[in-house]
Every structure is written in structure tokens, then in C-alpha cells.
């Protein structure tokens, strides 16, 4: 099977279950009452199967690299202070913002081996996730990860104007591996990565990211 086919027909993430059940119910009701419900249920179910697809990813076998936390396009490449709720200080560090369209895989992945030291969810607005204002104003879930060299990085899941649910499957104290899944954002979103202090990015604005595979920085 071609790689593109493996991507399109990858099994869905568990977060898809309630949506798939809803689509199937509408489809079955349509068989009893109306054909337009059949088409609506079928279309919604197929869309959810596509949106929630969760393909396997193969992290590069390199020590000391930081990987992209999500698929999508780099829309922000600047310095900034990590979310204050994470307690990582007020010293600016490199910030990489990745915008995920409806057509991207929305499963989030751990950027580097380490330990989750803090997770903080914050309510907010639902602006277009491709805008810079969304990074500070939208609903978000922020994670701080302590690396083996005692440096810290931060990953922030940010909801978009369509998204209304951020799912995080890890907990404070969890030991995590680079490229492993840690959550998903439903229906259009943004993921931001704050690199450790003193680490510079290896990516460019507009570059396409593959979550869990694209190398965005080196710790050396």
C-alpha cells in the first residue's frame, strides 16, 4: 500500500468514537425515515474517519533531537515567554507555532524524551487558530516536559474557531518518549512548541511538519 493510502486509511483515534457512533445512528435512522439522513450520516461518518485518522509514525533514531509535536504548517517562528501557568520563568526562548487545518492529522506527539512536570488547562476564546492572537487568547492546554539534561520545553495545545475539545492523555509525573502520542485537538487547531533555553530551531516559516518525525531542533 502506498504511504499516502496508509495515511488516508489509518485507523481512527479513540476520541472519534462518540462522533462515529452519532454518524452511524443518523445513518440507521435514515434507513427508516429519510434518504437525506442516510447521506448525511454516511458523509459525517466518513469525514470523522478521515479527520481522526491516527497513522503510525517512526521517530528518527537520533539522540538529542526535538521533534515536531503535530502535523501542519509553521506559521510562527519567533521568541516568546512560555505560558506563565507552567512556571518556566520569564526569559524568552524560541517559539514554533504550527497550524493544523481540517486536512491535517490532529494527533499530538511528544517532542522529546522526558518527564511531564506540569499540565495546566485554561479556558479562552475560539479565534481562528492561524492567527497570532489565538496563541494567547484561545482555549489551551499547556505541558511542561523536563528533559534528561534538566532543561525544560513546553508544548501547548490550542483550540481553533471550529475546535471545541482538547484531549490530553498524559498526566503530571508521566515518563514520556519522543514521538509517542499524548493527545488530540478536535476539528482545526494550533500546537505551539517552546524550545529549551539556548536551543535554536532548524525549521522555517511555511515548512510542513510531520508530527513525531520532523526534527525541529537539536539539543547539542
Sequential DSSP letters for 84-113: GGG---S--EEEEEEEE-TTS--EEE--SS
**What does the alpha-carbon distance between residue 66 and residue 37 come to, in Å, rounded to a whole number?**
46
- Per DSSP, the residues of 134-180 read HHHHB-EEEEEEE-TTS-EEEEEEEE-SS---EEE---TT-EE-TT-
Q: Tell me which residue of 180, 174, 185 sits closest to 145, measured CA to CA.
A: 174
Angle, nearest 10°, between helix axes 35-51 and 17-33? 160
Check if 180 is active-site: no
Catalytic residue among 101, 137, 180, 189: 189
Residues paired with 94 in a beta bridge: 79
Q: What 3-state class would DSSP assign to 53?
A: strand
Separation of alpha carbons 86 and 16, rounded Å: 29
Burial of 193 from C-beta contacts in 10 A (0-12 / 13-18 / 19+): buried
* Residues acting as catalytic residues: 189
Amino acid at each position: 500500500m502506498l504511504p499516502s493510502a496508509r495515511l488516508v486509511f489509518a485507523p481512527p483515534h479513540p476520541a472519534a468514537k462518540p462522533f462515529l457512533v452519532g454518524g452511524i445512528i443518523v445513518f440507521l435512522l435514515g434507513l427508516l425515515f429519510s434518504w437525506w439522513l442516510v447521506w448525511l450520516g454516511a458523509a459525517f461518518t466518513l469525514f470523522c474517519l478521515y479527520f481522526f485518522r491516527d497513522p503510525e509514525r517512526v521517530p528518527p533514531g537520533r539522540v538529542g533531537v526535538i521533534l515536531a509535536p503535530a502535523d501542519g504548517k509553521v506559521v510562527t517562528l519567533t521568541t516568546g515567554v512560555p505560558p506563565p501557568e507552567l512556571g518556566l520563568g520569564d526569559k524568552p526562548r524560541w517559539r514554533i507555532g504550527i497550524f493544523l487545518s481540517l486536512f491535517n492529522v490532529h494527533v499530538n506527539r511528544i517532542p522529546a524524551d522526558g518527564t511531564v512536570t506540569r499540565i495546566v488547562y485554561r479556558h479562552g476564546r475560539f479565534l481562528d487558530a492561524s492567527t497570532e492572537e489565538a496563541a494567547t487568547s484561545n482555549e489551551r492546554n499547556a505541558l511542561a516536559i523536563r528533559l534528561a539534561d534538566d532543561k525544560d520545553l513546553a508544548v501547548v495545545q490550542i483550540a481553533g474557531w471550529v475546535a471545541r475539545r482538547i484531549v490530553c492523555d498524559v498526566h503530571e509525573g508521566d515518563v514520556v518518549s519522543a514521538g509517542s502520542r499524548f493527545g488530540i485537538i478536535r476539528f482545526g487547531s494550533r500546537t505551539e512548541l517552546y524550545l529549551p533555553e539556548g536551543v535554536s530551531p532548524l525549521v522555517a516559516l511555511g515548512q510542513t511538519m510531520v508530527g513525531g518525525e520532523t526534527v525541529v531542533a537539536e539539543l547539542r
